[in-house]
Amino acid sequence: MRLLLEALQIRFPQLRFTPGKTFVWSPETGEVFYKEPETVNTETSHEQANWSLLHETGHALLGHTSYQADIQLVKLEVAAWEKAKALAKDFDIVINEDHIQDCLDTYRDWLHRRSICPTCTTKCLQQSDMRHYRCFNCHTVWKVTSNRFARPYRAHKALQVPQPLVHASGLS
């Protein structure tokens, strides 16, 4: 990973690469944090460290800063992996597609868990205020935390929404 890190620093002098506890792009500080190569202990881990470094560099180069809707986060992650694959070709690295999909699955699973109605378990969509979900089946409204690392606990309350009258013909 050391060679890749040095090559990235030379190719992208506008980016700051900083040792840290994990691989992450920080738009607040403008830094790509990476695990020290000495803390990576297997050949597979070294390979995955390279992929993670390329992925976080992808976020930085794409100018990813924040997201509003949950689905936007998934789109940002997909874009960063696409950028990482393009960068990898330049450095004669092949990123394992299964690894990418495993990483993306964590975001898809996160999105899925957040979208399940706590009352009736219907899968729902985030509302336009980007802070709430609303069940179109039972009309429960719930808010989820904006922290993508938090477990998907939901604060919810059932709203009393008037139901349409159903006539004998079955039509409203």
3-class secondary-structure state, position 158: strand
Region 133-160: mean pLDDT is: 71
Residue 53's nearest CA partner among 106, 113, 93 is 93
CA 85 to centroid of chain Cα atoms: 17
What are the tens digits of pLDDT across the range 70-96?
999 999 999 999 999 999 999 999 999
Can you say whether the dihedral through the CA atoms of 19, 25, 29, 31 is positive or negative? positive
Domain extents for the chain? 2-114, 121-172
3-class secondary-structure state, position 55: helix
pLDDT at 150: 55
114, two tokens: 């957040």
Q: Between 3.30.2010, 1.10.3470, 1.20.120, 3.40.50, what CATH number should domain 2-114 receive? A: 3.30.2010
What are the tens digits of pLDDT across the range 117-131?
999 999 999 999 888
Q: What is the pTM of this model?
A: 0.81
In what helix (H) or strand (E) does residue 58 lie, and over which residues does it extend? helix 43-62
